[in-house]
Amino acid sequence: MQVVFADWQNKAMLDIGKDMISKRHSKIGTKRGEAYANLSMRFLRALFNFASAQYEDGSGHAILRENPVMHLTQTRAWYRVDRRQTVIKPHQLASWYQAVLSLKQDKVTNQSALVADYLLFLLFTGLRRQEAATVKWEDIDLNDRFFTLTDTKNREPLTPPLTDFISDLLRSRKAATDSEYVFAGDGKAGYLIEPRRQVQKVTELSSVSFTLHDLRRTFITVAESIDISAYALKRLVNHKMTNDVTAGYIFNDVERLRKSMEQISAQLLRYFEINEEKKILKFPVHQNT
């Protein structure tokens, strides 16, 4: 609302018509990209749907009789955006890893070192970026080596195990922060939002172009390449298995998933081309200011 609909925030919803929707959708697509335009309009559509269900007139009828965003569907105006299928390929992971570690050498700010750990955490857990960014220290058990997510995309809680690599990373991270969030940010939210500058730096140093969600796809791709059980993989990345009757009879607890998680971690370390005993490099600890 504050970015592409800033001038509409004080406008009555009844005054937003179909033609306005079409023009704004086209404008966003030109300036910010077609995928962003579709995403913006899906948000606005949900807002209108909520208002239509929530607010009634004196006769009990919805004040908003129609959703103007549906005009994009009726006129087939939605942009066709193919789903991304990009991953970091195995032969690219070594240079990518070295570029990520180079962020820890930043003498100007400790935020770059934090982003380096965040990127590795995403790759080694397969979490969605928001899920990882909002993890708090209270959600992590470093003794029994697992953590818990309650606010997930599909609203189902997730309790994945912590591998040796990630456990070591988190212990080092905990010594460098006093925030309630594992990956603290500088903004009002308190957690890391969008580390564009550091991602761009890694891309420049490694010549590997990637998005944060590519790290999740890479985790899944590596897991499939070493024949991790489909049930274990779906549980690790918190994909629903509602259409699979067999899955309903399989109980996946933390310890049963630990072996699969360690296998994925070991494969990633092999791609990094580093020795197991050198998997975590030590850098000076910068205290938050």
* Nearest by Cα to 134 from 209, 203, 88, 187: 187
Beta bridge partners of 184: 191
Chain segment 75-92, per-residue pLDDT in tens: 999 998 776 668 999 999
* Nearest by Cα to 150 from 238, 213, 220, 20: 238
Q: Given its phi and psi angles, is residue 211 left (phi above 0), alpha (psi -120 to 50 degrees) or beta?
A: beta
The pLDDT of residue 240 is: 63
Per-residue 3-state assignment (H helix, E strand, C coil) for 209-237? CCCHHHHHHHHHHHHHHCCCCHHHHHHHC
What is residue 153's DSSP assignment? T
How many CA atoms are closer than 13 Å to the CA of 13, on its beta-carbon side? 18
The pLDDT of residue 282 is: 43
Regions in the chain scoring below 70 on pLDDT: 83-85, 152-155, 239-252, 274-289
The pLDDT of residue 278 is: 47
Residues 25 and 30: their CA atoms lie apart, in Å, by 9
Residues 114 and 105: their CA atoms lie apart, in Å, by 11
Query: Cβ(202)–Cβ(88) under 8 Å?
Result: no
For 158, the 3-state DSSP assignment is strand
